[in-house]
Amino acid sequence: MFNLTPAVRIILIVNVAMYAMQRLVFPPITDLLALHNVSSSLFNPIQFVTYMFLHAVQDFGHIFSNMFALIIFGPNLENLWGTKRFTFFYFFTGIGAGLLYSGINYYEYNQLYQSALTFIQDPDPTNLVGFINDHAPGWESNRLVIQYLKNPDDTFLQNQCIQGVKEVLQSTVNTPMVGASGAIFGLLMAFGMLFPNTELFLFLIPFPIKAKYFVALYGIFELYSGLHRNPGDNVAHFAHIGGMLFAYILIRYWARQRKNFY
């Protein structure tokens, strides 16, 4: 059904094998190879490469959607560029996505850390409310928080709230990012730039849409979602944007080197 090219086939096999290992053979591999916050004790620079081959174990749709996109868009690009250039592009955009995501993730964690430190050093209700409003939406309905705000001098409640803030810090810094999505969005951007007028038939759109319009709309959606992230949204939107950005940069660079392009 699908005419898989050499690099696409290998990437597909490695992703499926790693998913099976995560789920069935050696679950701790996720903590070892997923991309952690650079402030985490679990961070290792090699994770900028390895995270691309891991996926959310409890969400089969995560790996399915990424691998489906790989076999739809990848072969056309590999046939155009050749295996060597395609492989370089895949890793370049995947690593670039991880770098952009990590930079933003580090900034957001640092904001969280400063807000948490303010409350821990000065456990005042105003500081707790500020922490909740900026970093812990939903906490305002927590019974412990409600009791503390009513009785801010209660040492037990105060210590419990401090412990809760520390747990948020620990959980946040050790929550990793996984998935081939950064590299896949790089492929998507490349397809939109190099095959702009190819009509795509998508499940959720009842009419064909040209690749250039689909990519542009998807990019705008990801940027909006990243800037206005809803509570509970665990999608790494800025990794997607990073993949598209680094893809654009590399394709524009190659276009200027026309003697070696293609």
93-131 pLDDT tens trace: 999 999 999 999 999 999 999 999 999 999 988 888 888
Confidence of residue 72 (pLDDT cuts 50, 70, 90): very high
Query: Mean pLDDT throughout 70-85?
Result: 96
pTM for the structure as a whole: 0.90
Q: Are 128 and 138 in contact (CB under 8 A)?
A: no
Q: What is the spatial distance between Cα 250 and Cα 43, in angstroms, rounded to a whole number?
A: 27
25-71 pLDDT tens trace: 888 899 999 999 999 999 999 999 999 999 999 889 999 999 999 99
Burial 128-150 (b: 16+ CB within 10 A, else e): beebbeebbeebeeeeebeebbe
Q: What is the spatial distance between Cα 124 and Cα 119, in angstroms, rounded to a whole number?
A: 7
203-257 pLDDT tens trace: 777 788 899 999 999 999 999 998 887 767 778 999 999 999 999 999 999 998 8
Who has greater pLDDT, 183 or 23?
Answer: 183
Q: Quick check: 261 pLDDT over 70?
A: no
Q: What is the spatial distance between Cα 246 and Cα 96, in angstroms, rounded to a whole number?
A: 6
Q: What DSSP letter does each residue of 109-152 carry, written as one string? A: HHHHHHHHHHHHHS--HHHHHHHHHHH-TTGGG-HHHHHHHH-T
